[in-house]
A = this chain, B = another copy of it.
Amino acid sequence: MHEAAAILLSLFVIFVAAQIGAEIAQRLKLPGVVGEIVAGCVIGPSALGWIKVDQIASGTPLDVLAEIGVVLLLFSVGLETRLEDLRKVGRSAFMVGVLGVIVPFVFGSMWAHANGFEWNKSLFVAAAFVATSAGITARVLQELGALQRIESRVILGAAVIDDILAMLLLGVVTSLQAGGGVNVGSLVFVLVQAVGFIVVIGWVGTRVMRQKGHWLDRPINPLSPLTLALAICLGLAFLSTEFGLAAIIGAFLAGMIASELTKREELEHQMQPLLAFLTPFFFVVTGAKIDLGVFASGAALWMLLVVTVIAVISKLAGGFLGALSLGRRSAMIVGVGMVPRGEVGVVIASLGLAGGVFSNETYAVIVAMSLLTSIVTPPVLAALLRRQSEDYEQVPPHI
């Protein structure tokens, strides 16, 4: 009974903090998501402490709720993205994904080596610089109603490429770290598996859904299109983790498949209450995981600043270069949109800590960097998108 009461209290506190944070942010003309993340920092373990560290550790109820929140968010983003639209930007998205991985990896490993890490450890550190987390950017794009813009499609497509490459890179650095050589055969296998998963699900799934989508109406339950689409979402989220990809990639694919349904708009509408209830848990928990204690030491603070600047600029440069064919302004939007790191960076950092590659301090700095990029991006992205929209009215874009 007491345990149940404690969890209800934290659900209440998190949910209310998210509403207040989002409201304040929006009144300051910032995206609501910034307010939710900051609210998480404020009520989290390193400030007010209303949410304790062990309440948001991996596998806890709050962490699982957060995971469900971001999975549903990416599902609904997928719902607003049709395969057709993604295919049109395939080339740019590929370039952005590839350069957005290579540039941060190179800069990250150089920084790490310059700071006294051996080369094989430096590559491990650099791997934590790489992976973009689409959740934050997707929420900002959705909030601003910008998901149909070409830059948004490039970012979402690139996030898929990015995830594949990050996973490959993790394979490489882990085997280097373990002292073994790189087994090219097994890496190719991993790559083929992941690409195969995405292509098969994306291509076959959309076709099946286009032709047999009315089957989702057959059950007696009047909400069956929604519940079955959610079942597909949970199933693909799980399956994508089995193929070494982030759960949100599977959720995104599920949404993209479901966007072929004739009831797509009804689904989008039905997703709104689900997102309103569940995504705040993701953003507040993300904020609560930031260990503000890192800032107490001058050296760590400086390291955090340097690492964050490298992470932001290298990703921005990679994304910008990859998207240059869209014009400079759009390329800038794409570059900024790719900046947020998230759970993948945190996971790699945890592996590094567990494997003895990172000190506690390095770990804290990399986690804080991952999350700082998530706080920095939304306001910049929103400002860029708003300026771009104003210009749209004067000069029609060349697409």
Question: Using a CB–CB distance below 8 Å, which chain A residues touch chain B?
Answer: 1, 3-5, 7-9, 11-12, 15-16, 19, 22-23, 26-27, 32, 58-61, 63-65, 67-68, 71, 219-221, 223-224, 226-228, 230-231, 234-235, 237-238, 241-242, 247, 270-274, 276-277, 347
With A7-B59, A15-B230, A16-B231 given, name 20 new contacts (CB 8 A): A4-B59, A4-B241, A4-B247, A8-B71, A12-B234, A16-B235, A22-B221, A23-B219, A26-B220, A32-B220, A32-B221, A60-B61, A61-B63, A61-B64, A61-B65, A226-B276, A270-B272, A271-B273, A274-B274, A274-B277
CA distance A23 to B218 in the complex (A): 10
- Closest residue of chain B to A59, judged by CB? B3
A272: B residues at CB distance < 8 A: 223, 270
Q: How far is the CB of A265 from chain B (nearest CB, A)?
A: 14
Interfacial chain B residues near A223, Cβ < 8 Å: 272-273, 276
Question: How far is it, in angstroms, between the C-alpha of A42 and the C-alpha of B374 when the chains are bound?
Answer: 43
Check if A19 sits within 8 Å of B219, measured CB to CB.
Answer: yes
Asked whether, in the complex, the Cβ of B234 is within 8 Å of the Cβ of A5, the reply is no
A64 in complex: contacting residue of B1, B7, B15, B237, CB < 8 Å: B7
Contact A68 B11 (CB under 8 A): yes
Which B residues touch A220, using CB under 8 A? 23, 26-27, 32
Shortest Cβ distance from residue A50 to the other chain B in the assembled complex, whole angstroms: 13
A242: which B residues are within 8 A, CB to CB?
5
User: Is the Cβ of A241 less than 8 Å from the Cβ of B8?
Assistant: yes
Q: Which residues of B contact A237 (CB under 8 A)?
A: 8, 12
Q: Which residues of B contact A227 (CB under 8 A)?
A: 15, 19, 276-277
Q: Are the C-beta atoms of B276 and A273 separated by less than 8 Å?
A: no
Judge whether A8 and B273 touch: CB under 8 Å: no
Contact B15 A234 (CB under 8 A): yes
Task: Please state if B235 and A19 are interface contacts (CB–CB under 8 Å).
Answer: no
Across the interface, A7 reaches (CB within 8 A) one of B67, B224, B235, namely B67
Closest Cβ of chain B to A29, distance in Å, is 10
Distance A276 CA – B8 CA, assembled complex (angstroms):
21
Residues of B within 8 A of A71 (CB): 8
Shortest Cβ-Cβ A-B pairs, 10 listed: A61-B64, A8-B238, A12-B234, A5-B241, A270-B273, A26-B220, A61-B61, A223-B276, A3-B59, A9-B238
| Given A7-B64, A223-B272, A19:B241 Cβ within 8 A | no
Docked CA distance A221–B64 (Å): 25
- Which chain B residue shows the least CB distance to A269? B273
Nearest chain B residue, comparing its CB with the CB of A221: B22
Q: How far is the CB of A224 from chain B (nearest CB, A)?
A: 8
Q: Which of B5, B68, B228, B273 contacts A273 (CB 8 A)?
A: B273
B11 & A234 in contact (Cβ 8 Å cutoff): yes
Q: Which residue of B lies closest to A347 (CB)?
A: B1
Tell me which of B19, B32, B274 contacts A228 (CB under 8 A): B19
Distance of A10 Cα from B255 Cα, bound (Å): 20
Shortest distance from the beta carbon of A51 to any chain B beta carbon, whole Å: 14
Contacts of A238 in B (CB 8 A): 5, 8-9, 11-12
Q: Which of A15, A23, A64, A228 has the most chain B CB atoms inside 10 A of its CB?
A: A64
